[in-house]
A and B are shown apart, each in its own frame.
Chain A
């Protein structure tokens, strides 16, 4: 399936590095999301973009910086990360994220990040 793609699929970075995760959706959706999934924990919502506007920053540390240049693309810029930031980072999209819209989300394959 190629509805939501993410690159890279795997990333190993040192604590002083700067890297970016990329997400692209081909579903014509207007909302995009970043989630973090750590071992044995539920998915944690990090950021929400609805019609390119950021609507949620779920108390995420500033070392994670999202960017949404258009409705199809979403980036997560990473800098000075900590080892505890190692996790699976998932991008998702949905038709929109307005009000009580019951729109299901579709996920990309994720980027498995290891911070050394």
Chain B
């Protein structure tokens, strides 16, 4: 099973639509979660962190279900500028030299295209 799994899409939606992306993760010890956005041929940029109680930032809502190891991102009133790849990212940890350290694991990404 992949550490972080996303539906790759693509999702093609009209402007103004509501679209939801899902993500599952395999490591139950994971502690923090993020959604990143990556535009074509650009670097990933942090969109929002995901908190246990769910959180909202404008048109974007993120949810976390620890029991099901499931994360979601909801985009309301889609804009043309929302077209991008959305990356689900999970922070776990690994060990090296007797010390634990944090590491991010990225999903493959979900492609969203918003059309007029």
Contact = CB atoms under 8 A, between A and B. Distances in A.
B is a partner of A? yes
Interface of A: 40-43, 45, 48, 50, 55-56, 88, 90, 94, 96-110, 112
A73 to B, nearest CB: 18
A56 B105 CA distance: 13
Interface of B: 4, 31-32, 34, 41-46, 49, 87, 91, 93-94, 96-97, 99-109
21 contacts: A41-B108, A42-B106, A42-B107, A42-B109, A43-B106, A48-B101, A50-B101, A55-B97, A55-B101, A56-B94, A56-B96, A90-B43, A97-B103, A98-B99, A98-B100, A99-B93, A99-B101, A100-B102, A101-B91, A102-B102, A107-B45
Query: Which of B87, B102, B103 lies at the interface centre, i.e. has the most chain A CB atoms within 10 A of its CB?
Result: B102
Given A42-B106, A43-B106, A109-B43, A99 B100 contact: yes
SS class of chain B's interface: helix, strand, loop or mixed? strand
A88 B23 CA distance: 24
A41 B87 CA distance: 12
Contacts of A55: 96-97, 99, 101
A97 B102 contact: yes
A102 B42 contact: no
B79 to A, nearest CB: 21
Given A48-B103, A100-B31, A104-B46, 6 more contacts: A43-B44, A99-B93, A102-B102, A105-B104, A106-B46, A109-B42
A98 B102 CA distance: 5
Contacts of A103: 91, 102
A2 B77 CA distance: 31
A42 B102 contact: no
Contacts of A97: 101-103
A112 B43 CA distance: 11
